[in-house]
Amino acid sequence: MIYTGLDLLEKEWPKQLRNASVGLVAHPASVNRRLEHATGIALKSKKFKLKVLFGPQHGIMGETQDNMIEWEGFKDKKTGLPVYSLYGNVRKPASEMLKDIDAMIFDLQDVGSRYYTFIWTMELCMQACLENGKSIVILDRPNPIGGHITEGTVLDPNYSSFVGMRPLPVRHGMTMGEIGDYFKHEFYPPLNFYVIKMNGWKRRMWFDNTKLPWVLPSPNMPTLDTAIVYPGMCLLEGTMLNEGRGTTRPFEIFGAPFIEPDVLVKRLDEFKLPDVFFRPIYFQPTFQKHAGKLCGGAQIHVANRDKFKPFKTAVAIIKAIHDLYPKGFQWKQPPYEYETVKMPIDILAGTDRLRKDIEKGASLNNMEEWWSEECSLFAKEKRRQYLLYG
């Protein structure tokens, strides 16, 4: 049986914070194994008093469908508590939002990829708590794509943004509690920081091994299959290719109006990528890039998730389309996720080297060599110090 930090909240609440007034950062996936939401659980606690609610990108109720749509705070009708937005005019909690509390509880389900903004909402909450003399308690949850595999580029701090503020590989193989522990020790040593660890979770577990209920952590993350391809396919947000938004299989389907599916799939097959197949398709997105237009492309079918390389696969897709369709392919231009100068692909990759290598025709395997070296170095020098689970 796997118990999340939320399942163990009452039992493992820090003694130092007994009777504290708290704020809760939550979203729709902040549920226990019986699908009871963190808000209701916190309201019933005998260990602390819930005073304020906070919501990240896509809203506390998951109400903003697309990415980069801001939302503003409101008063929750059910509880009467104020709800503050951390994805609007404010991304880092302001002092005024924290004035009536002693601590923040942070309970967001991550999906195992550096670009997923909940990691960076956590860091900004840590910053705000340190600056305002508050404590923070992270309720840990599984990394749905396992804690045993890392892949992709490591962020260069010169490319820091809201899709990556600190050095981490794209597929980091860590839980939110572990990443919080890394941030605390490397960047915020004085912070009064706690993790309520999971009980029973092992690093090699995928989310469906946990027997926990899957609740969409964001509107375009409908299934575990989506999370498996996301560490690579989110890179397509840095192009003018449709990454499957506006379809029923976001990030598994991709394409553009100028693509001939069979030609593209033939080129992709030449890369001999491990344990993945591409099915040629046509589709018509209902929103986002190329909405209402017939697009040619493919759907990704993963044969073996333990051997599949999502980051390498997505770089192969971008490289193939870039090379096959030089007149049609375009990089997305800023602004993107509050960055108005740097290219979206560069802040997603955490470096401009990937884009420049694609533009100059570098081989896929040569690119993989340098990002794998970065990833291995980070794992040895930083990551392994902060792993909380075997």
Per-residue pLDDT tens over the stretch 230-259: 999 999 999 999 999 999 999 999 999 999
Pairwise CA distance, residues 326 & 42, whole Å: 54
Q: Cα–Cα distance between 374 and 192 in angstroms, integer?
A: 31
Q: What is the pLDDT of residue 65?
A: 47
- CA 11 to each of CA 7, 8, 31, 136, 360: distance values in angstroms, whole numbers, following the listed order: 9, 5, 16, 17, 56
- Torsion angle of C-alpha atoms 211, 197, 18, 102, degrees rounded to 10: -100
pLDDT value of residue 70: 52
pLDDT at site 157: 98
Average pLDDT over residues 143-171: 98
Give me the pLDDT at residue 72, please: 66
pLDDT value, residue 66: 55
* CB-CB contact of 276 with 298 (8 Å): no
In angstroms, the Cα distances linking 91 to 103, 118, 189 are 18, 11, 22
Percent with pLDDT over 90 in the chain: 93
d(C-alpha 368, C-alpha 385), whole Å:
25
pLDDT for the residue 63: 54
Q: Where in the chain is the domain with CATH 3.90.1150.140?
A: 224-359
Q: What is the CATH number of domain 9-219+382-386?
A: 3.40.50.12170
Helix segments in the chain, DSSP class H: 9-12, 38-43, 95-98, 118-131, 176-187, 207-210, 224-233, 261-270, 310-324, 344-349, 353-359, 364-381
Tens digits of residue pLDDT in 260-306: 999 999 999 999 999 999 999 999 999 999 999 999 999 999 999 99
Give the mean model confidence (pLDDT) for residues 195-209.
98
As a whole number, mean pLDDT of residues 336-352 equals 96
List, for residues 49-105, the tens digit of each pLDDT value.
999 999 998 777 655 445 555 546 668 878 889 999 998 888 999 999 999 999 999
pTM of the model: 0.95
Residues of the chain with CATH 3.40.50.12170: 9-219+382-386
pLDDT at position 88: 83
b/e sequence 73-110, b meaning 16+ C-beta within 10 Å? beeeeeeebbbbbbbbebbebeeebbeebbbbbbbbbb
Give the CATH fold of the 224-359 domain: Aspartate Aminotransferase, domain 1 (3.90.1150)
Calculate mean pLDDT across residues 106-120: 97
- 212-224 per-position pLDDT tens digit: 999 999 999 999 9
Q: What is the pLDDT of residue 60?
A: 75
